[in-house]
Chains A and B, each alone.
Chain A
Amino acid sequence: MVVKKDTLIILHILKKLPDLSVYSLNLTLINQVVMSKKITRRKFIADTGKATAAVAGTVALQGMTFPSILDPEADIAVVNGSDYFKSTLKAIDLLGGMGKFVNEGAHVGLLINSDFDVEGAYVDPDISIAAIKMLWDAGATKITCLQVVKEEYWQRSNLFEEYKDLISKLDQVESNTFPSEYNETDFIKLKNVPAWKSLKETEVVRSWLECDVFVNIPVSKHHATTQLTCALKNIMGVSTRQANVTFHLGSGERNNPDYLAQCIVDQYMMKKTDLCIIDSTNFITDNGPSGPGTIKTLNKVIAGTDVVALDAMTSEFLDLYPEDVYTTVKAHESGIGDMDYQKLKIVEVNV
C-alpha cells in the first residue's frame, strides 16, 4: 500500500513538471525519490505507465517560462492598510483572484507561520482567515494545514466567531507539531536528490507533495541565523524536527549559515509554491524568530508567486539587501525564482 501511495506522489510530481522544470527537476530526480523508498525504476515505470514517462520527456524539453508582461495582473501585490483581512482579499484580487490559483475540487496545502506566541513573530490570524475564506470560496474541497495551527491562534482574531465554521473544516497534519517526529503515515523521506547541493536526506509532510495547490503564508521577520525568515525559511515547517536539526548541524560545523540556507533551498525545490501571502504588517526586526523583539509596523500584506522575489522585497523591510540573505541568493541561483524583484510587475494600493 505504501508503494502505491508513493507512486501517486510521483505521478503528482510528474503532473507538476511543467512548473518544476525551472527547478531543474527531471526524471533522474524522480528516480531518486522513487529509489529512496526502495521502489525499483522498473516498477516505477510499470506503475506510472509509458504515457507519464512520455509527458516527462516532453516537459524536459520545455524548461521555459512566459514573460509576465503578457499577464494583465500584478506579479506582486502590495496592499497597505490596517484592516488586514481586507488587505489580504485585495492583494489576491490584484493577482487575478483566488480562482487563478485554485480549481474547483482542489486539495490545498496551507503552511502558516502560526506557532509563536509573541506579536510580530506569527502571521496575523486575520490574514490567514481571509486566505482560507477565499480558498473555500474558490472551490477547494480540502484544505490541509501542513503544520498544526492551534485553536488559540485562530482565537486571537476578532473574526474567529464569524469564520469558525470555515476554520473547523480545515484538515491538519496532526503529527506535524513541534517537535514533530517521523511517521510513515504523515511523512515521506527524500534522499540524495541530484539537484540538491547540501541536503542529503529530509523528512517532509506527504500532503505537501500530494496537494494540488501549495499556499505559503509566512511573516517577514528577523532570524538570528538567516537574517530573514519569510517564504523560503518557512519551508522548514513541513519537515520533521530531526530533519531540521540536520540543516543546522549537518555541515559538521554548528550553525553554518551558508549550509543552512542551501538545505532550505534544496528542500524548497521539491514543490512549487502556487501562492504566497506575506504578513508584513507588524514584525520583529531583532531577537527573531521567536521574539520578543523590536516591532516594526508597515501594515503591508504582500502576495505573489515568486517566493525569491518576495523574500528579496521583504528583506529590505528589515534594512537588509537581498544579497545579504543567503536563502534568497541561493534560491535565485537554484532557479526557484528571481531575486531581482523590481523586474516584476508590482502593484501597490491602499485600502
Chain B
Amino acid sequence: MYRILMLVLFVVGFIQMEKLTAQGNPELYLPTDEQRGNWAVKDSVQTYADEDLYLYIDGGADVYLEYGFKKVASCKYQNPSANRMHIEIYQMKDPDAAYGIFSLNSTGLGHPLDLGDLSYQYDYYLDVWKTSYFIRCTISRKEAGALDTLKLFASVVLENIIGEGKEPLINGIIQLENHPLKNLKYIRGQIALGNIFNFGQGSIAAFDQGVTARSGDLSFYVFGYQDDHKRREWFASAKGKMYSSRKFDDFVAMEDGFTVKDKTGKSFSFKPYRQFFIVIAGKDWEEAKPLFEEMMKNIDQIYP
C-alpha cells in the first residue's frame, strides 16, 4: 500500500514538474502526437519572442507589444479531410496583459465557454485567457464536430498551464448598479485605445492602464496613472487638447472637470479623481454626476 502511494505521489510529482518546466515555453503546451488523434502537424512549430513578433503578425503586433508580450508558439494541423486547425499560444508579461489582449480581441458576439479563466467561442475560432496566456484556436472549415475538436485541443493546452488569473483591479471601477456592461476592455496604451475610440492623436496620453465598456448608449473610460501628480499633468494636457480639438465642440470647464460634445451632439464628461480620470460619454455633466460618484466610491474601495 505504501509503495503504491509512493508511486502515485511520484507520478503526480513528475507531472507537476513537467508542467513547471514547461512554464515559459508555450511551444511545450501544444498537443503531443498522442493527444492529436488524426490531426497531423502541417508546418513545424513556430515561436517568436519579443520584437520578433513583427515577423509573425502582419499588422497588429504593436498592440501586443504595448500590452507586454513575451513569446508566441504557433502550429498548424491538418486532418485527413484536409481541414486545417491553427493554435496560437501567446505568453504575455503578466496576467493583466494576457487578459487585456483577450478583452481587446473580444467582439462582444462570442459564446462564453467553460475553459480557462475566461473564454469565448466565435463562428470559426475560440479565444481563451488563462493566467499570463492568451490562446486562439482557429479552424479553417466549419465541418461537423470541428468546434468540439477546437475545444478539445484548447483543453489539452490549458491542462499544461498552471494557475488562475484574476481580472485587473481597475475593471471594478466601472462596475455600476443598474448599468450592465458590454464590450469591457482593459487597455494599456494609445494603440489599444485607438482600437476602441479615437479621442484625437495624443489627446489622452501616457496612461499606465485603463478600462472601457459600454452600457446601452453610454460609454465609460477610466484612465489610471502612476500617481496623482502624473494624472494632474496628463489631465491638464487632455483638457488643452480637447479645448482646441476640431473633433469636439462646446467645451465647458466645470469646477472639477470639463465637458465637450462631438459632432453628433453627444456629451463627453471628464472628471479627475486621485490617480485616475474618468470619461463618461452619452450624458451631460449633471446626468453624469451620480455615475462619477459611484465610480469614485469604487476607486476608494478598490484602492484604499
Contacts and interface: CB of A to CB of B under 8 A. Distances in A.
Interface of A: 115-116, 178-179, 222-225, 227, 229, 241, 244-245, 248-249, 254-255, 257, 286-290, 292-293, 319-321, 323-324, 326
B60 A254 contact: no
Contact of A224 (B60, B246, B247): B60
A245 B191 contact: no
19 contacts: A115-B58, A116-B59, A179-B54, A179-B55, A179-B58, A222-B195, A224-B62, A227-B194, A241-B55, A244-B54, A254-B65, A255-B65, A257-B190, A286-B195, A287-B195, A288-B59, A289-B59, A323-B246, A324-B247
Interface string B35-76: 000000000000000010011111111110110000000000
B58 A225 contact: no
Contacts of A255: 62, 65-66, 191
A321 B246 contact: yes
Contact of A290 (B57, B65, B104): B57
B178 interface: no
Interface in B183-235: 190-192, 194-196, 198, 200-201
A292 B106 CA distance: 9
Question: Binding site of B, secondary structure by majority: helix, strand, loop or mixed?
Answer: helix
Contacts of B54: 179, 241, 244-245, 248
A184 to B, nearest CB: 21
Contacts of B66: 254-255
Interface of B: 51, 54-63, 65-66, 104-105, 107, 190-192, 194-196, 198, 200-201, 246-247
B65 A224 contact: no
B261 to A, nearest CB: 14
B107 to A, nearest CB: 6
Nearest to A246: B54
Contacts of B104: 287
A292 B104 CA distance: 11
Given A249-B51, A255-B65, A224 B192 contact: yes
Contacts of B195: 222, 224, 286-288, 293
A222 B61 CA distance: 15
Contacts of B247: 321, 324
A254 B58 CA distance: 16
A302 to B, nearest CB: 21
Contacts of A319: 198
Given A224-B192, A245-B51, A287-B195, A324 B62 contact: no
A328 to B, nearest CB: 11
Contacts of B201: 227, 257, 324, 326
A249 B107 CA distance: 29
The 8 A-B pairs at the shortest CB distance, nearest first, are namely: A289-B59, A179-B55, A178-B58, A224-B191, A245-B54, A290-B60, A255-B62, A224-B194
A324 B57 CA distance: 26
Contacts of A292: 107
A294 to B, nearest CB: 9
B139 to A, nearest CB: 13
Contacts of A222: 195
Nearest to A236: B59
Nearest to A254: B65
Nearest to A226: B194
